[in-house]
């Protein structure tokens, strides 16, 4: 079998995630079938869209679709104890000997925040998945182009840098995260990255394919990234770390509201397995969905037999999807009322049931897929996709057939994928962590304002659906000074900024533990527990809790717990 290079980037082929040993024979029999292993568990199959059936969910499972992920000042160093550590003659931890890894929108490599004093780059390499070249992809990968430190330095010395390294960050999100984690201090701008002596490795993700955005009705102008490309990007970072024999602190500032909000997405499983490896620290943004109104939770009252859900759909909404996840062993089903009163009677909960509903007066189509036993979680999934939904309040009743604690949750897409005004009338702000922030081992960060110690208004709240305590703690993430495109600086807020800050702190700990030999087997779990132990806690608040996790990040206090 030849490699999948052409299929990976072609819009004529769809990407689907399977467990390696469970790729169906009917998939393997599709002409031009090709697959690539990500690790020893998951593979990505590339199939010609013209030859695959429309009913993939009832035939194979919802889980084969890659989830779609969106993008989630010096005084902050004082509040988190970073400055006290770096000013200590004994500790003085600045990330020396550690790699900071970013999987995001790329990096503005010409920015002063990523240069040494002599003008050379602090970036080891960039893998740009969006630029295809015949022999430029990294070893072991079959798409994109890798740019080395030597090439970046040649570009920086050139009068036309982009003619040598044409990789750019058009959005600025990756530049901001890399900067807050490891950017070079600029006192005049009130900016300092955390791990200022760490080296940087960057993956610029390619945008999700059109077939996937069409299926989930994600706006065409939304920045959307596929789960399998993120997994490949993380694999690349790990490969660089192992090749150079350096510990690595990885930041994931992306998130999705797809899935059951537990640790069962392929990406979550993958990063959990990496988190137990020596010299790997992984920090994840918890998400910015807390007060968006995009989550609904309820328990069906057995005396009534159903629960009524009200969803307001805003104007000019071309479409969206939402997911209802029901607690096993209950069996859930729904009916629908449109804003004008058109009624679709209860749709029977049958195995692999698929329905297309047409609301004539609203010019709206609704697609409903039932999976009574979803492959990854074992729970029930009802996937509901709206095309050209009419503005107004839609109502649907959720029925339960068994009534053994018949609770269910519904999640709308992340804010970036929805038009304004689409939200539940009676939302639930908890269980709003975006994946992969629903994992067990990696560090998951909420965001707070270090100026007033207030939680960021949109910071997602825990726990996971399996009641794992996430977020781990809160890090600075409100109005933070960060590098911006064009060698400028700006302020940004959000849990991805908080995750970038935490990534820098993790790099400091990897320097202390592995580079300096104080804890040579250090991994993500040890680092997380170390930071949880030192987190600042309000004596009037019970911890852990769903807003703050175990408190506020304080790395100096974490070291103090070792000494006392």
Q: Indicate which residues carry an active-site annotation.
A: 104, 173, 496
User: Which H, E and C letters describe 257-278, residue by residue?
Assistant: CCCCCCCCCHHHHHHHHHHCCC
Q: Could you tell me how far CA 339 lies from the centroid of its own chain? A: 34
Looking up tokens 């060698």 gives 487
Classify the phi-psi angles of 25: left when phi > 0, otherwise alpha if psi is within -120 to 50, otherwise beta: alpha
Closest C-alpha to 522, from 511, 533, 532: 511
Q: Which two tokens stand for residue 167?
A: 């990789």
Q: Which two tokens stand for residue 542?
A: 């019970």
DSSP 89: T
Q: State the burial class of residue 48 (Cβ atoms within 10 Å of its Cβ: 0-12, 13-18, 19+).
A: middle
Q: How many angstroms separate the CA atoms of 438 and 258, rounded?
A: 11
Q: How many angstroms separate the CA atoms of 510 and 146, rounded?
A: 26
Query: What would the DSSP string read from start to end of 473-488?
Result: EEEE-SSEEEEETTTE
Which contiguous run of DSSP H or E holds residue 16?
A: strand 13-19
Question: 471 preceded by cis ω (within 30°)?
Answer: yes
DSSP 458: T
Q: Are 153 and 186 in contact (CB under 8 A)?
A: no
Classify the phi-psi angles of 510: left when phi > 0, otherwise alpha if psi is within -120 to 50, otherwise beta: alpha
Q: How many angstroms separate the CA atoms of 98 and 198, rounded?
A: 5
Q: How many angstroms separate the CA atoms of 344 and 477, rounded?
A: 45
Q: Are 537 and 550 in contact (CB under 8 A)?
A: yes
Q: List the end-to-end C-alpha distance of the chain, in Å, as a whole number.
A: 60
Q: How many angstroms separate the CA atoms of 421 and 418, rounded?
A: 9
Q: Are 238 and 403 in contact (CB under 8 A)?
A: no
């Amino acid at each position: 079998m030849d490699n999948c290079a052409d299929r990976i980037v072609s819009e004529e082929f769809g990407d689907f995630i399977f467990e390696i040993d469970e790729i169906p024979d009917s998939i393997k029999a599709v002409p031009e079938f090709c697959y690539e292993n990500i690790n020893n568990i998951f593979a990505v199959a590339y199939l010609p869209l013209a030859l695959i059936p429309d009913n993939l969910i009832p035939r194979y499972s919802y889980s084969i679709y890659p989830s779609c992920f969106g993008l989630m000042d010096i005084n902050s160093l004082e509040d988190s104890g970073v400055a006290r550590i770096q000013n200590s003659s004994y500790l003085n931890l600045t990330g020396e000997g550690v790699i900071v890894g970013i999987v995001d929108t790329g990096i503005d490599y010409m920015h002063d925040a990523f240069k040494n004093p002599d003008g050379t780059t602090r970036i080891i390499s960039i893998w740009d998945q969006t630029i295809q070249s015949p022999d430029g992809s990294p070893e072991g990968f079959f798409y994109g182009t890798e740019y080395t430190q030597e090439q970046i330095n040649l570009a920086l010395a050139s009068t036309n840098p982009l003619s040598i390294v044409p990789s750019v960050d058009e959005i600025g999100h990756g530049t901001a995260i890399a900067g807050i984690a490891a950017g070079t201090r600029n006192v005049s701008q009130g900016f300092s990255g955390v791990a200022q002596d760490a080296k940087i490795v960057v993956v610029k993700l390619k945008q999700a394919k059109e077939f996937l955005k069409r299926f989930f009705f994600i706006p065409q102008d939304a920045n959307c990234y596929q789960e399998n490309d993120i997994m490949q990007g993380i694999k690349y970072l790990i490969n660089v770390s192992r090749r150079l024999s350096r510990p690595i602190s990885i930041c994931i500032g992306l998130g999705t509201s797809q899935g059951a909000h537990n640790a069962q997405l392929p990406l979550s499983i993958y990063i959990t397995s990496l988190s137990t490896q020596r010299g790997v620290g992984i920090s994840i943004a918890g998400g910015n969905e807390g007060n968006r109104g995009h989550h609904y939770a309820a328990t069906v009252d057995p005396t009534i037999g159903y629960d009524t859900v009200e969803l307001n759909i805003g104007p000019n909404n071309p479409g969206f999807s939402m997911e209802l996840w029901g607690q096993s062993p209950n069996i859930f089903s729904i009916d629908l009322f449109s804003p004008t009163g058109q009624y679709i009677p209860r749709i029977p909960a049958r195995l692999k049931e698929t329905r297309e509903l047409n609301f004539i007066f609203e010019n709206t189509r609704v697609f409903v897929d039932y999976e009574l036993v979803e492959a990854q979680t074992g729970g029930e999934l009802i996937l509901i996709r709206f095309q050209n939904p009419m503005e107004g309040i839609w109502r649907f009743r959720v029925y339960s057939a068994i009534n053994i604690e018949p609770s269910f949750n519904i999640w709308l897409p992340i804010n970036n994928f929805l038009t304004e005004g689409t939200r539940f009338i009676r939302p639930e702000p908890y269980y709003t962590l975006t994946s992969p922030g629903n994992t067990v081992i990696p560090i998951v960060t909420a965001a707070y304002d270090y100026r007033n110690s207030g939680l960021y208004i949109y910071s997602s709240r825990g726990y996971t659906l399996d009641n794992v305590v996430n977020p781990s703690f809160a890090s600075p993430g409100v109005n933070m000074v960060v590098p911006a495109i064009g060698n400028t600086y700006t302020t940004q807020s959000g849990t991805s900024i908080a995750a970038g800050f935490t990534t820098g702190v993790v790099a400091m700990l990897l320097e202390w533990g592995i580079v300096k030999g104080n804890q040579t087997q250090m991994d993500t779990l040890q680092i997380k527990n170390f930071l949880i132990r030192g987190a600042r806690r309000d004596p009037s608040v019970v911890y852990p809790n769903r807003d703050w996790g175990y408190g506020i990040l304080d790395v100096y206090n974490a070291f103090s717990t070792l000494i006392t």
